[in-house]
Amino acid sequence: MYTKLITFFFLFSLSHLTFAQDITGIWQSVDDLTGAPKGQVEITKEADGTYIGKVIKITPRTGYTPKEFCTGCPAPYTNKPILGLNVITKLKHKKDLAYNGGKILDPNSGRMYSLAAKLSGNGQRLHLRGYVGVSVLGRSQIWIRVN
């Protein structure tokens, strides 16, 4: 009886560890209006515990020529190449699968937004909410983890 109980708790705790993921890795950003892939962002954890996201790939699409430089962006992003640009900064792990307190830059419009994010239970989707002021005044995107 006790052996089965101990085995159950061991397997339960082991399975819980396999699902305890964070947002580090490579993510495919997807256009929230068309569903087309836009590019890839690599999210890494900084020494201070915050997360940053850098554009590592821009995906060409039919009928759309992506911008190469961040024109109209605030300093220090002004006229910097979009490829290699940190578009996510200072994102903090809140609890469980939630993250907040960060900023996200839209290099196409040059606008900077506050950022909240939530990782899906299986760790394969990242729900992002960029907003100004309160999260109701913003827009959402879902990014897909690249394996």
Tokens of 17: 């560890």
The angle at the Cα of 46, spanning 45 to 52, to the nearest 5 degrees, equals 65
Domain 22-145, what fold? Lipocalin (2.40.128)
CA atoms of 45 and 33, how far apart (whole Å): 29
49: left (phi over 0), alpha (psi -120 to 50) or beta: left
Domain boundaries, the chain: 22-145
Exposure pattern of 61-94 as b/e (b: 16+ CB <10 Å)?
A: eeeeeeeeebeebeeebeebebeebbbbbebebe
| pTM, entire model | 0.83
Tell me the pLDDT of the chain (147 aa) as tens digits: 444 433 344 444 443 344 458 999 999 998 877 888 999 999 999 999 999 999 999 998 888 788 899 989 999 999 999 999 999 999 999 999 999 999 999 998 999 999 999 999 999 999 999 999 888 889 999 999 998
- Provide the pairing of β-strand 25-30 with 37-45: antiparallel
